[in-house]
Amino acid sequence: MAQVKHTYDTYAPPDIEFVRGEGARLFDNEGRDYLDCAAGIAVNSLGYAHPHLVETLKGQADGIWHLSNLYPIPAQKRLAERLCAATFADRVFFTNSGAEAMECAIKTARRYHYSNDAPERVKILTFEGAFHGRTLATIAAGGQEKYLEGFGEKTPGFISLPFGDEKALKAAVDGETAAILLEPIQGEGGIREFSGQFLRDLRELCDQEGILLIFDEVQTGIGRTGKLFAHQWFDVEPDIMASAKGLGGGFPVGACLAREEVAAPMVVGTHGSTFGGNPLAMAIGNAVLDVVLEDGFLDTVNAMATLFKQNLAEMVDTYPELLEDVRGNGLLMGMKAKVPNTDLIAAMREHGLLVAGAGDNVVRLVPPLIVNEEDVREVRNRMIAALNEVKNNLTQE
């Protein structure tokens, strides 16, 4: 077969061809099955071929796929209503991705101050290890050199502070500060959690200083941690929040949520999106919420998370030469590795278990929220097989 490649080399995928998915499993063209604890990186919240999503998509195929936001979109109004009913928010702007939801969050924060006679308030304070997307503004917000290198001047207005450092934060706040931005749990950064106390302190600081609190819940939201949004575990609400990933269950849907007063300056003409919030995307977003908001769904997520956590803790105990700790909340989990995380990821894949990497040399597990006990057991078996192999290779060296 001719090997002419026409896509960018921005990814280096292994040589596997997935042809089918069902529940938490993927199947390749040789009939092998894989337990998928990467889930499109926390996107396939309801796994593969979920009957309600499939039915919704098929139903919408005969309807209107796309309408410009120049016309009313009833399913958009409904999804916004439901997201607001379940959160701090009063208003929603829909996007196609997490980075776009973040762009909207940043614009909303700045525009709020601009409309409140403080146009100088443009600076956004962030924490090292953050990840907010790959657009020019969101790589500046993330502040990670590896994503900024070679793309010209860093978009101004973002200040990256040491992780969880309240002193540095207080010193950095001044009359030009618009907002503090963070993921309640850093996903790409290595499943690093901010404490509830830290989040509450942030809220207090923001209230004192008249600055806005923005949560990036693109990865942590839509049931991932066992609450609809991770910050709901704590007694803290943001002013603005970005969501995406799990919200579309595999269809590109993002959302920026905000309080009424904060969203009010985003009037006609200040922002827009051609595709964001179109009827097809909204039908699927609503279908995901149908399932995630169902009575008992998140209870099961929490029960599965407890089983997972026990298993992962057992791995750390059994393989101290390979693993250092377990972290995360709900089904957003990580194990810090002592060998290159890429070695563990490859070994697990070879044993039919898909996991993702994350910063800080972490192996990240973000299975579909519909995993069941049997899946969790099978993940454990395959993980043990993979870790045994890596351990044996270590001792042979």
Query: Which chain residues interact with ligand PLP by CB under 6 A?
Result: 97-99, 102, 131-133, 183, 187-188, 216, 218-219, 244-245
> What's the chain's Rg over C-alpha atoms?
21
Of 191 and 291, the one with the shorter C-beta distance to ligand PLP is: 191
**CB of residue 115 vs ligand PLP: minimum separation in angstroms?**
26
**CB of residue 359 vs ligand PLP: minimum separation in angstroms?**
11
Of 147 and 297, the one with the shorter C-beta distance to ligand PLP is: 147
Distance CA(92)–CA(282), nearest Å, equals 12
Of 242 and 280, the one with the shorter C-beta distance to ligand PLP is: 242
Of 140 and 323, the one with the shorter C-beta distance to ligand PLP is: 140
Lookup: tokens for 264: 């009010």
Distance CA(196)–CA(323), nearest Å, equals 26
Cβ-count burial of 6 within 10 angstroms (0-12 exposed, 13-18 middle, 19+ buried)? exposed
Q: What are phi and psi of 373, to 5 degrees?
A: -60, -40
**CB of residue 252 vs ligand PLP: minimum separation in angstroms?**
7
Distance of CA 320 to the CA centre of its chain: 29
Of 60 and 97, the one with the shorter C-beta distance to ligand PLP is: 97
**CB of residue 293 vs ligand PLP: minimum separation in angstroms?**
22
Of 23 and 189, the one with the shorter C-beta distance to ligand PLP is: 189
Q: Which of 249, 212, 285, 198 lies closest to 370 in space, CA to CA?
A: 249
**CB of residue 341 vs ligand PLP: minimum separation in angstroms?**
17
Of all residues in the shown chain, the one whose CB is closest to ligand PLP is: 98
Q: What is the dihedral of CA 301, 306, 312, 314, to 10 degrees?
A: -160
Distance CA(267)–CA(39), nearest Å, equals 37
**CB of residue 7 vs ligand PLP: minimum separation in angstroms?**
17
Distance CA(278)–CA(94), nearest Å, equals 9
